[in-house]
């Protein structure tokens, strides 16, 4: 009996420790994804549009194949300028938002840079000389798919220089989450006469686990229905910094006197054990052309391009990218402004394909 009580006590203690570790680990995010060191049982809250209470969800790290490598260096880019805004506490505890404009880092070419986390000997000039692996037709057929694996990713509503301790950046309200950024991209492609469809399915709600499997199924559904789809874009927002007293980082630049969220383009690589990814280099070419065009049109818009050993469903076609707009402490207005700019840059690249 005594041994049973001791065993039961130890079991309860270990379970409590696991729960605490799971909650703490949710802040260790890189590139918008829970890093490899985080247990798959980490918990995340989602604020729904239908109710003011929060629902606890289970977080995940990787995609359908389960073969992704964690790119833990994603947010280690150097900054060309930095400004920390100290919070002013009103009701409850507030923590600082740290504004940074990410500058050149890694491989620098022309007006942009690339962080290469692969063993591929990247020659940016040679890649840019190549043609895109697809061509957008001069028609209104649907040729671009925009979707969101983590549809509930959201932003601050106001630029106050701080965020409240109870802030959790996930929402099903589509005017506050990442889908509103997708709307801005969609609008610019339509203005350019490019056929586009924007899917707003909640792949991460009510369950976060399985998000990439569900978004993969969504991609396949649309590619079967619209045979002319050549470009597939997974639009996210990032998260940088551990939070608390150390604050969170807000990647930002100014354009026409207004703050805008910096954008990070991500493209994957076929590494050993990484599964089927035959046209990663064509995606890389696409990413580089978009990065260069965006920086030419809007200097400061982009963070260094992230080229890493991951798939994240980017192996569905040779025109597939994952793009991160700001972080959880940018405002929704800042992210939407960048959505419009990136949409214009994307339209230019596609028209020249």
- Strand pairing report for 162-164 and 94-102: antiparallel
For the record, the structure tokens of 262 come out as: 């910096």
- CA triple 140-150-212, angle to 5 deg: 85
Nearest-angstrom CA–CA distance, 208 and 152 = 10
Q: What is the homologous superfamily of the domain 79-351 according to CATH? A: Zn-dependent exopeptidases (3.40.630.40)
E-state strands within 191-346 = 195-198, 231-238, 248-255, 258-261, 263-267, 305-307, 320-327
Give me the DSSP letters along 42-106: -EEEEE-SS-SSEEEEE-----TTS-PPP-TTTT---EEEEEEEPP--SSS-EEEEEEEEE---S
**Residue 209: both structure tokens together:** 């686990």
Domain ranges for the chain: 79-351
Per residue of the chain (353 residues), give pLDDT as tens: 444 444 344 444 443 443 333 333 333 333 333 322 222 223 333 444 433 333 223 233 333 333 333 333 333 333 333 343 334 444 589 999 999 999 999 999 999 999 999 999 999 999 999 999 999 998 889 999 999 999 999 999 999 999 999 999 999 999 999 999 999 999 999 999 999 999 999 999 999 999 999 999 999 999 999 999 999 999 999 999 999 999 999 999 999 999 999 999 999 999 888 889 999 999 999 999 999 999 999 999 999 999 999 999 999 999 999 999 999 999 999 999 999 999 999 999 999 98
- pTM (2 d.p.): 0.79
- Kindly report the number of other CB atoms within 10 A of residue 20's CB atom: 10
Contacts for 230 with CB less than 8 Å, ≥ 6 apart: 134, 135, 136, 143, 144, 317, 318, 319
């Amino acid at each position: 009996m005594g041994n049973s009580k001791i065993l039961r006590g130890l079991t309860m203690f270990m379970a409590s420790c696991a729960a605490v570790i799971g909650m703490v680990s949710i802040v260790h995010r890189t590139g918008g994804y829970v890093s490899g060191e985080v247990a798959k049982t980490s918990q995340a809250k989602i604020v729904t549009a239908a109710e003011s209470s929060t629902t606890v969800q289970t977080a995940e790290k990787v995609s359908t194949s389960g073969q992704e490598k964690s790119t833990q260096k994603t947010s280690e880019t150097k900054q060309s300028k930095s400004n920390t805004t100290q919070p002013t506490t009103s009701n409850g505890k507030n923590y600082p938002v740290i504004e940074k404009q990410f500058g050149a880092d890694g491989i620098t070419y022309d007006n942009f840079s690339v962080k290469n986390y692969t063993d591929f000997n990247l020659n940016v000039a040679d890649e840019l000389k190549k043609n895109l692996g697809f061509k957008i037709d001069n028609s209104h057929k649907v040729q671009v798919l925009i979707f969101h694996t983590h549809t509930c990713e959201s932003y601050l509503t106001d630029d106050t220089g701080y965020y409240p301790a109870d802030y959790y950046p996930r929402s099903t309200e589509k005017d506050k989450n990442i889908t509103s950024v997708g709307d801005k991209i969609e609008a610019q492609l339509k203005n350019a006469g490019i056929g586009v469809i924007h899917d707003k399915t909640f792949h991460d709600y009510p369950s976060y686990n399985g998000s990439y499997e569900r978004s993969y199924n969504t991609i396949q559904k649309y590619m079967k229905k619209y045979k002319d789809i050549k470009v597939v874009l997974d639009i996210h927002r990032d998260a940088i910094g551990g939070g608390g007293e150390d604050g969170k980082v807000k990647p930002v630049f100014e354009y026409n006197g207004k703050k805008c969220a910096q954008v990070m383009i991500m493209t994957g690589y076929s590494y050993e054990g990484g599964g089927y990814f035959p046209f990663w280099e064509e995606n890389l070419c696409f990413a580089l052309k978009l990065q260069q065009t965006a920086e030419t049109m809007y200097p400061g818009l982009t963070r260094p391009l992230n080229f890493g050993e991951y798939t994240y469903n980017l192996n569905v076609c040779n025109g597939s990218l994952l793009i991160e707009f700001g972080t959880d402490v940018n405002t929704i207005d800042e992210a939407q402004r960048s959505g419009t700019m990136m949409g214009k840059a994307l339209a230019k690249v596609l028209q020249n394909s």
